[in-house]
Structures are given as structure tokens and as C-alpha cells.
Amino acid sequence: MTTLREAAAKKGIFMGAAVNTGISRDATYKALAQKQYNLATAENACKWGATHPQQGKFDFSNCDEIRNFTLNEMKGTFRGHNLCWGSYNPGWLKSLSATAKKAALINHIQEMAKHYGSDAFAWDVVNEAVTDNGGAQDPLKNTDWYPDVPDYIDVAFTTARAAFPKNVKLFYNDYNILDKRTKSDRVYKLVKSMIDRKVPIDGVGLQAHIGGGYSDVAGVKVNMERFGALGLDVHITELDISYNSWSQSSETEQAKIYADLLQACLDTPACKSFETWGFTDKYTWKGTNKHPLPFDENFKPKAAVSSMISVLTGSPAPGPSPSPPSPSPTPPGPKRSYDRLTQTCLNAAAITGKLSVGSVSECETLCDKQTGCTSLDTDGSDCYLKSHCEGQTGQCSGWCGYRVKTLIV
């Protein structure tokens, strides 16, 4: 049977899941992540509590474990989570003065950047800054950072832009902002103001911890499109769909919600990554009894897996069918030719996970069809599409970068 990963690769979209350090202790869990996904995020291992347990003393071991698994074993794309969050921080941070907190924030981001460079193609630079109180005057919530460091969001993004290689994408990530509502309006204003003030930001992460019965897929699309219109990428970062009671009809409904959201992402050019928060009900912050993820607690695919594969491949799912897939979002552009580079592309930003091709020209054809693709890396078998490239033309062996040379209209 086609895997999520194979089906996603053909569409050029990241299909990801949060994983945790249990990968080293559960072979079935690890194998399933590798087989089904082309992107992974550390659920907890890259947060401050894990990486910066004492002031100025860093411990990258757990975050490294997930990074290494993703890049070397999954052979996928690593997504970083997170560099600044107002909750779950180590105790030492909470007791610092405002000035010392700001210095610690800058130091943390710089050290993370020094260690991880461009290993992660994107980082959630700031997580969950906006208030849930729709009536509040102040759009920002009180946290370990705010109001002590009033400009902490700008500081975090500006520091990250200076510290990370420029191909690393910088994201704002939050919950309850999946569709258009008061909180997502506030996030929209926040990121627009950042853009207007030239504070560097590349994208918005929509967490999507939702429950059974969710139906505002039209609002999700409108929401993603308005962020896209600002020139930002959108990632669905932490999707899970919880149920208080579970039955055949819940499973069918859940499969449809997963499929409809995936379809909305495929239909929105700005939406580049579709990721669930975990992938098996065995390990989920929601609790196994909420059944929120696409694979059950015994690692068996639930109806959500076939409904999502069906959306990706355009073939009907067995059982009640999800909404019909629409045509590929990106029509072929003008005919282009490519320069072969000395090595893989320098400072390129990946816009897809690994795609399987039969030749270099097949990879080039995929690039022709993908909005924003200006370069690619391929060995004629694996193919990664990229949005940017500073490589030099010349000879190479094995892996080569290829850069769009001429546009023949």
C-alpha cells in the first residue's frame, strides 16, 4: 500500500509528525515514523527545558537525537520547535531580572543557531505569544517573557535572523488560529506589523489541536490565504483531532476532517507543510483515550491514513469518501533550462521533502511545475526542490545542484 510519505512526495509537500526521544526505545514506533513521514519535529527535546537546563549550560543531546534520526535515518527534513515560549521554561529563567531575561533570550537563540545551523529548515522562533482573551486590550499574553521584556518577539526574530543561516525559515507558531477568528486576526495584525517594521519573519505555524465535529475548513483556507498574501509560508504544525468517545462513526468523521484539512493545504500555495503532533495514539499528549492521531495505539493505520493518501493521490478512499481532490495547485510554468552546479545548492531553502524520480530531467520537470522552485538537488533518484540557490556552475559527481538558467517563454 502507498505510504503517506510516498503520496506526499509526489505532491511536493512535507508530511510530518512530532516525534520524541522514545524512538530509541520503541523499534516499531521508529520504523513507522521513518516509513510514513518525510519531516519530523522534536515534540519536547529542543525546548529550553531540554537544551538549556542551567543558565549558560547547554545540553543538546536529546534535540540532537531527534535531529540525527530525522536527517540520517528518516532521511527527511527537520523542523525546529521552539526557540522562545512563555511556558515550560527552566526554573532559573523565571527568577531573572528583565534585563537578564533579554540577554538570556539572545544568548539561547545564538547558541542554538551555532549548534544547529541549517539542520532545521525552519524554526518556531516564538511560540504562543498572543492572548486567548478576546476582550483583552493587550494582544499579548502574560508569560515568562511578557511584560518583562516588552519587545521580546522582535528581539527573538531579529536575533534568529542574524544568527541562523539565511535559508532557515523563521516562524511564529500558535494554537486556536487555524481558521479566521479573533485570535487569528490578532496574529495576522502581529505578523503584518512585523513585516511593516522590517522585523524578519518567514511564516506562520497553525497548531491545529482540534476536536471531533470540527468543520470550518473554508475558514482555514481564508486564513491561510491571508497569511500567504503577506508573503508568508504557512505550516500546519501540530494537528490532532480528539474525541471524548470513540466509535466507527468517530473514526469516519476524523478521517474526513484530516482529509479536508490536507486538501485545504494542498489547495493553498502558501501551505508547505502538513504535520501532526505525534502520529500514534500510543504516544500523544492528549491521551490514548482521545484517539487523536492517524495511527492507533497498536500502530495500525486508522481511516485517516487512507483518506489522506486518497487526497494526495487523487484516488477515492475506501469507505465514505472525503471531499474530492482538486487539480494540482501549480500549473506548469514556461519551459526552463538548468545549470549544473559544482555541488548541492549553497544557501538553498528546501520547499519539498524527498521526491522519488527516475532521472535528473524528471526532477527538473517537477521543479518546473512547483511554484517558487528555482533550483534542485538530485542524484537522479532522490530529488529535493529548492527556492533559492547561490551555488557555482561547474563539474560535480554524485549529488549535484541544478539552478534555473534561462526562462524560454
Q: Which residues are catalytic?
A: 128, 238
Rounded CA gap, 180 and 199, in Å? 24
- CA–CA gap between residue 221 and residue 286 (Å, rounded): 26
Binding range to ligand G3I, per CB under 6 A, among 40-48, 109-117, 258-266, 380-388:
40-48
Q: Provide, rounded to whole angstroms, the least separation between the CB of residue 388 and ligand G3I.
A: 28
Contact set for ligand G3I, span 150-209 (CB under 6 A): 175, 207
Q: In the window 204-233, what residues touch ligand G3I (CB under 6 A)?
A: 207
| Residue 44 interacting with ligand G3I (CB under 6 A) | yes
For ligand G3I, what does the binding mask look like between residues 379 and 398, x meaning CB under 6 A?
--------------------
Residues 6+ apart with CB under 8 A from 310: 259, 316, 317, 321, 322, 325
Q: Which is nearer to ligand G3I, 165 or 287 (CB)?
A: 287
- Three-class SS of residue 150? coil
Closest CA to 168 of 206, 116, 128: 116
**End-to-end Cα separation, the chain, in angstroms:** 40
Provide the minimum distance between the beta carbon of 407 and ligand G3I in the complex, in angstroms, as a whole number: 42
User: Quick one: which of 238, 281, 364, 377 contacts ligand G3I (CB under 6 A)?
Assistant: 238
* Residues 6 or more apart whose Cβ sits within 8 Å of residue 311: 259, 262, 263, 266, 322, 325
Supply φ then ψ for residue 34, to 5 degrees.
-65, -40
- Cα–Cα dist 311/102, whole Å: 45
Given CA atoms 324, 325, 329, 330 in this order, what sign does their dihedral have? negative
Residues 6+ apart with CB under 8 A from 158: 199, 200
Nearer to ligand G3I by Cβ, of 43 and 275: the residue is 43
Phi-psi group of 314: left, alpha or beta (phi > 0 → left; psi -120 to 50 → alpha; rest → beta): left
118-147 binders of ligand G3I (CB under 6 A) = 127
Q: How far is the CB of 65 from ligand G3I (least distance, A)?
A: 14
270 to 289, contacts with ligand G3I by CB under 6 A? 285
Q: 209 or 336, CB closer to ligand G3I?
A: 209
Kindly tell me which of 43 and 260 has the beta carbon lying closer to ligand G3I: 43
Comparison of 145 and 175: residue with beta carbon closer to ligand G3I: 175
Q: Which of 36, 42, 43, 350 binds ligand G3I (CB under 6 A)?
A: 43
Binding site for ligand G3I (CB under 6 A): 43-44, 47, 88, 127, 175, 207, 238, 285
